[in-house]
Homo-oligomer: A and B are copies of this chain.
Amino acid sequence: MWGIIATWRMAFDGVTVASQLLKEGVTVGDAIESAVRLVEDNPVYKSVGYGGLPNIQGAVQLDAAYMDGDTYQIGGVAGISDVKNPISVAKQLSKERFNSFLVGEGARDYAVLNGFDIQNMLTDRAKAEWEKRLKEVQKNQLNPYDGHDTVSMVGLDVSGSMATGTSSSGLFLKQPGRVGDSPLSGSGFYVDSEIGGAAATGLGEDLMKGCLSYEIVRLMKAGYTPQEACNQAVYDFDARLTKRNEKAGAFSLIAMDCNGAWGVATNVEFTFVVATENQRPTMYVAIPAEDNQTNIEPITEEWLEQQRKNPTVD
């Protein structure tokens, strides 16, 4: 069995490519790297890689991580600038025994020294959106922090290996150096090839309060299906956070187990993509339902048409 699950419908092309690679027997690490790179390289997606929205100063600072479920090895970068594919830097760092999580200038210098592609990651479109939003925020006291759509993926290959990758430009108009959950083990991602993996998207400041990716993997280890594990972890934490902290930001979690079964839970409307040996790449939309359940429906032509007219979700 092979399979891959990824956050947001922007991952569809990446998952399609990854599913072909996994079918051909390529390792899950390489498949995930290829899929995340496709999202990073697409300037249309405003929350990941090239074309990602900048921080308050107009600088694009990116976060990414990679984890190998066989060895638990982790690589991560945070607040990295000018690097075309943060996921590839993170994947290479995962092979280091020491210094495998690098931030800021140090992360950029590592990428330069190791021959990764350097480019200006600010597109004209992202710059224009930054200028517009900055004016709006200054004028209207709007909450600047709306966009925070990380691409996160969990995959399984035919040899039984699992891996996870994340990549994000973080909160739009974030403060310089702000880091969310995406590069943080246990919060943004976690995977164990003998059990399964999970990964997140949403408000990083709240996700790191819950360590939900780790918790979902732990629940799968305890015998929960991926869907049960997601429901249990996400809705329990959402309730506790709301009680303790008055409010909970938006967050959505994806999971896949070592048999290719998958699950999702979310406290907002959330799109995601799945492909497995038994299922061609499919876009879904999930919304929270009653009794700590999740409503999941394949995305229809009608839904897409509706989104084109009145977008509510990426």
Contact = CB atoms under 8 A, between A and B. Distances in A.
Contacts of A97: 205
Closest 5 CB pairs of A and B: A106-B177, A104-B104, A106-B176, A186-B211, A72-B209
Contacts of A107: 177
Given A103-B177, A245-B72, A98 B186 contact: no
A227 interface: no
Contact of A98 (B171, B176, B209): B171
23 contacts: A71-B245, A72-B209, A72-B241, A72-B244, A74-B208, A78-B78, A98-B175, A98-B205, A99-B171, A99-B205, A101-B178, A103-B103, A106-B175, A109-B176, A110-B175, A184-B184, A184-B185, A185-B186, A185-B208, A186-B211, A211-B214, A214-B214, A218-B218
A241 B179 CA distance: 27
A102 interface: yes
A105 interface: yes
Contacts of A78: 78, 103, 179
A100 interface: yes
Nearest to A185: B208
Interface residues of A, number: 49
Interface string A109-143: 11000000000000000000000000000000000
Interface string A242-253: 001100000000
A187 interface: yes
